[in-house]
Structure 1
Amino acid sequence: MEAAAASSQRRPLAVVVADCVNRWFQDTLKEAKSGDTSMQVLVGQMYYSGYGVVRDPQKGRAWISRAARKRSSVWQLGDKRPGYNASDSDSDDDTMEDAK
């Protein structure tokens, strides 16, 4: 009987993942607001791509601009997927286009 009750409470994997991504965005936003440049870049990337938040390229650029005040090289990362950093390969740019 417990198995039947547990299966009726299961959430679809897509819902669980969406919740995790949203929580990641909220945690990242908190760090970005406290002044962490890397997190500001990540928030910009997340807004730009709509990852964990409604897509808003204007807010993405605003967060990248904020980070660029301390580190001008961040503009090279602004339109990359969330989590992309300068050491990553550019060979995956095509996969980002497919995901849009």
Structure 2
Amino acid sequence: MERVPLSEVVSDCVRRWFQDSLKEAKAGDVAMQVLVGQMYHSGYGVARSEQKGRAWFEKASRYRSSVWKVSNKRPGLNASDSDSDEVKENIK
């Protein structure tokens, strides 16, 4: 059995994660729309595209205004998570 480098395995998983997220985003899942926007914005699992990322953020922002707070964050941080960041900043 031939060994596959871990980096190839991870890259494949990330690409599949993007494809699965894109499918859910197209079906109307707002959290997945945010995630797809982040993935496009950072080039995570897909070729980097600021334009496509922004389009997904705009679509998601129709339902959740806090989307823009996480537009430049790493993939996986949800728009609702940004609200808790805001609370932490106000406490300091």
Equivalence map 1:84-99=2 (5 Å): 84-85=77-78, 86=82, 87=84
Deviations 1:37-85 (A, max 9, x none): 0000000000000000011111000000000111111111111100113
Aligned twin of 2:53: 60
Instruction: Give the aligned residue type for 1:67.
Output: A
Q: Which segments of 5 or more consecutive residues in structure 1 lack a partner in the other structure?
A: 1-5, 90-100
Q: Which segments of 5 or more consecutive residues in structure 2 lack a partner in the other structure?
A: 87-92
1:25 partnered with 2:18: yes
How high is the sequence identity, in percent, across the aligned residues? 67
Deviation at 1:12, TM superposition (A): 0.7
Pairing partner for 1:13 from 6, 19, 43: 6
Q: Which of the two has higher C-alpha Rg?
A: 1
TM-score w.r.t. length of structure 1: 0.77
TM-score w.r.t. length of structure 2: 0.84
Deviations 1:3-51 (A, max 9, x none): xxx2xx1111110000000000000000000000000000000000000
Instruction: Assess, with a 3 A threshold, how the Cα gap between structure 1 residues 11 and 46 changes in structure 2: closer, same or farther.
Output: same
- Return structure 1 stretches of 4+ with deviation > 2 angstroms: none
Aligned length: 82
Q: Which has the higher contact order (CA 8 A, sep 6+)?
A: 2
